[in-house]
Structure formats: C-alpha cells, structure tokens
Copies of this chain bind each other. A is one copy, B any other.
C-alpha cells in the first residue's frame, strides 16, 4: 500500500457480506505498481441501504468509481445514468465510474473476466457444453460471455424458475438453439459446470450442485473467491475432476478495470 494522504483518490467495492471480497488485495497492488495516488476500500452495504449509500458516495468529490458485488449487481443499474452494452444486456453491473460530465456509467466485466481466465488456464470455451448454476448477476454475465465465446451449448439452472425463464428469453434471442434451462442442474453431459451462486461463501452452505453427477473429464469452475479451494472445488477434485478457481475471474478483470477507471 502506498501512503494515503489528503490527495488520495477513492474507489470502493460494495457488497453484503463484504469480508470475503478480494478486490482490495488485487486492485491496491495494481494501483501501487502504476504509481497512482488512489486506494480501493471495502464498503459493507445492506440491500435496504443501497440507494442511500450510493447517493452519498456519488457526492464524494474524490471518489471516482465503484466495484459492485453480491447482492447489488442488479440494483446498482437503477443508480447509474448510463449502461455500457454488457451491463444493458445482462441488466447487472460490477463497475461504475464517474464520467467527466458527472454522469455515472455502469459496465459488467464478470463475463469477459471469466472467459479470459478460462482461456489463460488452457480451457478454451469454444465448442464446449456448459452447465451454469445460478442465474443471478454473475450468472447472466457468464452465460452471455461463454455463448459469445463460442460455447456449443449452455444449460442454465436456478431454483427461481422465473429467473431461468427470463434469462432464456434474452439469451435465446441472441444465440438461438444453444440454450436450455431448468430448476435442477443438468450435469450428465456437461464439459464444464460453473457455480455462479454465492453458495460456498458462508460456512455450512450446501454445495450448489453435486460434482458426482458430472462425466469423467469435466471441468468444475467456481466464482466464489473467499478462499482458493471452495467446498465445491474440493469435492470436485476429490472425484478427480479438473477445477477452475474463482479468483481467476477477478484476476483477469484487472486489465478491464484499469481501462474502465482510466488508471
């Protein structure tokens, strides 16, 4: 960490819970390497307080932008003046910046970060069959990004059937014939199974799905990044499956953040 003084610019990452966020540990060393007089701090915001906290943060003169995590990625879009294409398509955002004219612009880098991370680990998504569990903010972003990256098929699952239906309608219009949905995971012929739920954040969470239902040779990816080895990834590894940890998604968003926040 560089020294914080009165001239230091602020970025904040908003979530509930907040203790598990890894962005400060990744972004602050980047700011240091770039020689920027800026710091990213964690900000714990309960859902009922989002409007008031964001309203207050927007009026802080030396705060240049926000990163957004669970559960605020949908709701934050209501507080932005402008949505970049990835935020508009997914209806969710994980980054907001103040434009020179004072408007706030929201974008979503979860999907591109996830795909970049898969490729960097040698898992090319093109032509693969994906099962995605969780149609929340991150799930929608990942769904659009793996389809955009050439996934052969995507089976979306969420316990909330309305969410699944809404997501299928949007994805099917843009990528017809490659998308299916259900309220129970369909894993039996997946090449890649992805947890895009927050399950695994809290001790005692159930597994988001049973890796034992996957074929041999499948890859299990998690977006939970509280610890490198989540219960899901441990269970998958114990069955001999390849695993892809959640931090990769964030690691590979750093370049996106750097561009977005003009660092």
A2 within 8 A of B: yes
A56 within 8 A of B: yes
A62 within 8 A of B: yes
Q: Which of A34-42, A70-78, A97-105, A118-126 contacts B (4 or more CB under 8 A)?
A: A34-42
Residues on B with beta carbons closer than 8 Å to the beta carbon of A18: 6, 61-62
Q: How many copies does the complex hold?
A: 2
Contact A28 B4 (CB under 8 A): yes
A241 within 8 A of B: no
**Chain A, range 30-77, C-beta contacts under 8 Å to B:** 39-46, 49, 52-57, 59-63
Number of interface residues of A (CB under 8 A): 39
Contact with B along A1-26 (1 / 0, CB 8 A): 11111111010000110111110110
Contact A59 B45 (CB under 8 A): yes
Contact A6 B21 (CB under 8 A): yes
Q: A60's closest neighbor in chain B, by CB?
A: B43
Contact B53 A24 (CB under 8 A): no
Residues on B with beta carbons closer than 8 Å to the beta carbon of A60: 43-45, 49, 53
Q: A40's closest neighbor in chain B, by CB?
A: B4
Contact A53 B42 (CB under 8 A): no
Q: A54's closest neighbor in chain B, by CB?
A: B56
User: Beyond A53-B60, A54-B56, A56-B53, is A42–B5 a contact (Cβ under 8 Å)?
Assistant: yes
Contact A6 B20 (CB under 8 A): yes
Contact A10 B56 (CB under 8 A): no
Contact B6 A41 (CB under 8 A): no
8 A-B pairs within 8 Å (CB atoms) are namely: A1-B4, A4-B24, A4-B39, A6-B42, A39-B41, A44-B62, A49-B59, A53-B56
B-binding residues in A (CB < 8 A): 1-8, 10, 15-16, 18-22, 24-25, 28, 39-46, 49, 52-57, 59-63
